Structure 1
Amino acid sequence: MNICVFLSAADLDERYTRPAREFAELIGKGGHTLVWGGSDVGLMKVVADGVAEAGGRLVGVSVEFLRSSARAVADEMVITADLAERKAELLARSDAIVIMVGGTGTLDEATEILEFKKHGHHTKPVVLLNTAGFYDGLEQQFRRMDEEGFLPLPLTELVFFAEDGASALAHLEETAGVR
């Protein structure tokens, strides 16, 4: 399975890097491919290293203005002209999406992917990996949107909230029919 992961390129502390490394190992050991933003810095590097070390494939999709941060060694690296093209390429190359901890770029990617799913532009499973309670507030907001009628489909069909990498991957494999 080609698993797109949206996540931070920032250098973060152990409460985020350890679970990210563990999730990356699960992806690699499961024989899956990581499709990610292509950067070789911060949490993106942690996940790419973990997948590669565990035997998984790496497909990076970077953007021209971040070319200097792109990972030098990947199974495939695509450089897009802009962020919109990058997001489209990441979605096109993936079978499933996992949203990990990140800043405004990750939040932008997450909301666009969910908006596309809401409108039927894709049916790929989306998991929000809530490491260390990072997305507690966002999960609460999504639940309120669901309860108050702001979503045209049930929240459970839009996104799955996972507390750890093992449950995130189990959900993806079950949803995608992979075992």
Structure 2
Amino acid sequence: MNIGVFLSAADLGEQYTVPAKEFGRLMGEGGHSLVWGGSESGLMKVVADAVQASGGRLIGVSVEFLHDVARKDADEMVIARDLAHRKAELLQRSDAIVVMVGGTGTLDEATEILELKKHGMHRKPVVVLNSAGFYDGLEQQFRRMESEGFLPLPLADLVHFADDGAAALAYLQEQV
């Protein structure tokens, strides 16, 4: 399976790097490919290193203004013209999506993917990997959106929250 992963390119603490390494290792051992932003820095590098070290493939989708930090030894690297094209490429090349910890860029990617799914533009499973409770507030907000009628479909049909990489991968394998 080609698993698209949206996540931070920032250098982060062990509460985020340890789960990222574990998820990358599980992906690689399972024979899956990582489809990601292609960066050779921060958490993006941590996941890519773990996938590659455990036998998985790397499919990067960088963007022109970040091409200088793109991973040189990826199995495949696409350079998109802008961030919108990058998001479209990441979605197109992925069988499933995992959202890991990140900042505004990750949140932008996640909400666009979910909005497209809400409108039936794709049916790919989406998992939020809630490492160290990072997305507890987001999950609470989504539950409120559902309970107050803001979502036209059940939350469980839109996104799944997982506390660890094994649970995230198990959910994806059930869905794909």
Map 1:51-70 onto structure 2 (within 5 A): 51-70=51-70
Show structure 1 runs of 5+ residues with no match. Answer: none
Q: Which AA in structure 2 matches 1:117?
A: K
Deviation at 1:86, TM superposition (A): 0.2
**What do residues 126-157 of structure 1 show as CA deviations (whole Å, max 9, x unaligned)?**
00000000000000000000000000000000
* Stretches of 4+ aligned residues off by more than 4 angstroms: none
Computed over aligned residues only, the root mean square deviation of the Cα atoms, in angstroms, reads 0.3
Deviation at 1:62, TM superposition (A): 0.2
- SS of 1:61's equivalent in the other structure is strand
**Alignment partners' CA distance in 1, 2:13 and 2:88:** 30
Q: 1:162 is matched with which residue?
A: 162
**Alignment partners' CA distance in 2, 1:15 and 1:87:** 27
Q: Is it true that 1:10 corresponds to 2:31 in the alignment?
A: no
Q: Which AA in structure 2 matches 1:116?
A: L
Map 1:1-179 onto structure 2 (within 5 A): 1-176=1-176
- SS of 2:97's equivalent in the other structure is strand
Deviation at 1:14, TM superposition (A): 0.6
Deviation at 1:171, TM superposition (A): 0.2
**Alignment partners' CA distance in 2, 1:12 and 1:80:** 26
**Alignment partners' CA distance in 2, 1:30 and 1:146:** 34
Q: Which AA in structure 1 matches 2:162?
A: A
**Alignment partners' CA distance in 1, 2:76 and 2:114:** 26
**What do residues 35-68 of structure 1 show as CA deviations (whole Å, max 9, x unaligned)?**
0000000000000000000000000000000001
**What do residues 147-178 of structure 1 show as CA deviations (whole Å, max 9, x unaligned)?**
000000000000000000000000000111xx
**Alignment partners' CA distance in 2, 1:133 and 1:59:** 28
| TM-score using structure 1 length | 0.98
| TM-score using structure 2 length | 1.00
- SS of 1:171's equivalent in the other structure is helix
**Alignment partners' CA distance in 2, 1:23 and 1:40:** 17
- SS of 1:38's equivalent in the other structure is coil
